[in-house]
Amino acid sequence: MKKLKIAVIGGGSSYTPELIEGFIKRWKELPISEIHLVDIEEGRDKLEIIGKLAERMMEKAGINCNINYNLDRREALTGADFVITQLRVGRLEARIKDERIPLSYGLIGQETNGAGGLFKAFRTIPVIFDIIKDIEKYCPDAWLVNFTNPAGIITEAVFRHTDFRKFVGLCNVPIGMHRGLADILKVDSESLEIDFAGLNHMVFGLNFYLDGEKINKRAIEALAGPDSHISMQNIMAEPWDPVFTKAMDVMVCPYLRYYYKSKDMLEKDLVKLAEGNVRAEEVKRLEESLFKLYKDPDLDEKPVELEQRGGAYYSDAACELINSIYNDKKTIMTVNTQNRGAIANIPYDSAVEISSLVTRSGVKPISMGNLPVQANGIVQELKSFEIMATDAAVSGDYGKAMLAMVMNPLVTSDDLAKKLLDEMLEAHKEYLPQFN
């Protein structure tokens, strides 16, 4: 069998141990001989800690795999079969600004939603495009698996503004929704199937199957029950009104709290801000504690504390995606990809998050027809915003950036949007050369 080379850009991420664990679990199916972890100079120390932990994990598993970790992206990419991107441009300091600055204007500050998500896209899209150029030069046959956020806007940018097509985005939110509903129903998650469709961080569960039998009514009733509020580690679990849940008649993404419960979410975020704390600062402290664990020379497995991060299970999903492409397993997974008519009321060439068949030739989105009216309106609004955001990120056009800010439903007026835009452009100018 051909030996595989995996390149991980952002290899110093705290999520990497989960990635290594995922490859170890699938070692009999994936003949990987090299895993190259690469990062930037500012991440050198973390990269070395992660690299040594990955070596210990492989040694414990009795697997002969070369773990290479350095700062040379081109070396990592040369001859790679799969490339994984898990990077954060500006690191957590930039995320802190993305959360704090909008909150100072009385607006929701969040990593992937509102003004914060817009600016993360502005910083990240040019970097992803540079990586794609290197892939086309050094490993033109490689697949790029991205779980850098905002995954939906990045996927939109790649399909809208490049000719690169061996690209697929991943998010752990559908995984969390699936696991959450299985727990509520008290069933094995492997016996439960959900048809997912929508956008990244705005995905809906449309149909539900238990051992092949459709159970839509039972699923919605369960979701409307007491203490049945599925959330993520990084989102406050504000409960949904059971009347709302039943009327929606679909499973809603936890991130929709930012849109359907904006007032409550904002008030709680402002309280945390007044206490001198935002989610990004909590994550920074969690990362510091994780890396203290990772430094332990006796640690040779993924610590359970990693699951406290909001992105738990991303990495395992990436490993399964690679496994399904390489072995043509035709696994059904929820991914970010080009729509290609799968959701009838979203443009053919737009990016969507949807249940898809994962094959050797790529991901094939499963046809879902029209999104129901109760989901379609907000999806159309956010899709228009995503398109304008990608156009602004690529062009560096101030007017398009202003439009994208105003078009986002979490920003409330054009006057406020302009002030916020100007302050955030200044705060992040180091990472926004296209606007300079």
* Active-site residue, from 15, 138, 255, 258: 255
Question: CA 304 from chain center: how many Å?
Answer: 20
Long-range contacts, stretch 275-283, CB < 8 angstroms, 24+ apart: 278/96, 278/99, 278/100, 278/103, 278/109, 279/99, 279/110, 279/111, 279/234, 280/92, 280/95, 280/96, 280/98, 280/99, 280/111, 281/96, 283/92, 283/95, 283/234, 283/309, 283/310
Asked if residues 71 and 33 have their Cβ atoms less than 8 Å apart, the reply is: no
Distance of CA 77 to the CA centre of its chain: 22
Q: What is the dihedral of CA 293, 296, 300, 302, to 10 degrees?
A: 10
Element (H, E) at 146: strand 143-146
DSSP string, 161-192: H----SEEE--SHHHHHHHHHHHHHTS-GGGE
In this structure, the strands spanning 202-210 and 192-199 are antiparallel
d(CA 117, CA 125): 12
What does DSSP say about strands 32-38 and 4-9: parallel, antiparallel, or unpaired? parallel
Q: Which of 403, 392, 423, 428 is nearest to 105 (CA)?
A: 423
Q: Which two tokens stand for residue 296?
A: 């332990």
Strand partners, 310: none
259 is known as an active-site residue: no
Catalytic residue annotation:
255
